């Protein structure tokens, strides 16, 4: 079974621009979560989508948004980029069965904001 895939793997943008990142979950997984990893803050939860609805949200400004499509694929958008948005953005998918569910991560998208 193919793992979580993320595109693009690397991206360079300038301040003020916007960016869209894409994530394809493991086949059959219906929950998709997004995380930001930076050297200073570590791994931080952005949001989680299930059945095309945002079900959980972290403490990030409204410039960070996402959506999920009917095939469970998800996109994340960051508008008005700031230098501090430079980070590794990770997507994780989960089966959403039972009480507890492991999340499986993709390789990430490395975003550099200049």
**Comparison of 17 and 51: residue with beta carbon closer to another protein:** 51
**Cα distance between residue 19 and residue 36, in whole Å:** 14
**Cα distance between residue 48 and residue 31, in whole Å:** 7
**Comparison of 47 and 78: residue with beta carbon closer to another protein:** 47
Considering only the stretches 11-19, 39-47, 64-72, 74-82, report the one whose residues sit in contact with another protein under the rule CB under 8 A: 39-47
Kindly state whether residue 21 participates in binding another protein, applying the rule CB under 8 A.
no
Considering only the stretches 13-21, 48-56, 62-70, 74-82, report the one whose residues sit in contact with another protein under the rule CB under 8 A: 48-56
Q: How far is CA 35 from CA 1, 47, 64, 98, in A?
A: 23, 7, 11, 23
The residue count for the chain: 114
**Cα distance between residue 91 and residue 56, in whole Å:** 14
- Contacts with another protein by CB under 8 A lie at 4, 6, 31, 33, 35, 42-45, 48, 50, 55-56, 58, 90, 92, 94, 96, 99-108
């Amino acid at each position: 079974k193919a793992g979580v895939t993320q595109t693009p793997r690397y991206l360079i943008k300038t301040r003020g621009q916007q960016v869209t990142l894409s994530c394809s979950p493991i086949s059959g997984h219906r929950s998709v979560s997004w995380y930001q990893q930076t050297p200073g803050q570590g791994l931080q939860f952005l949001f989680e989508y299930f059945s095309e609805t945002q079900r959980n949200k972290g403490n990030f400004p409204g410039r960070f948004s996402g959506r999920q499509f009917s095939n469970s694929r998800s996109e994340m958008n960051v508008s008005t980029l700031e230098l501090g948005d430079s980070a590794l953005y990770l997507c994780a998918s989960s089966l959403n069965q039972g009480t507890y569910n492991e999340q499986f991560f993709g390789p990430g998208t490395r975003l550099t904001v200049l």
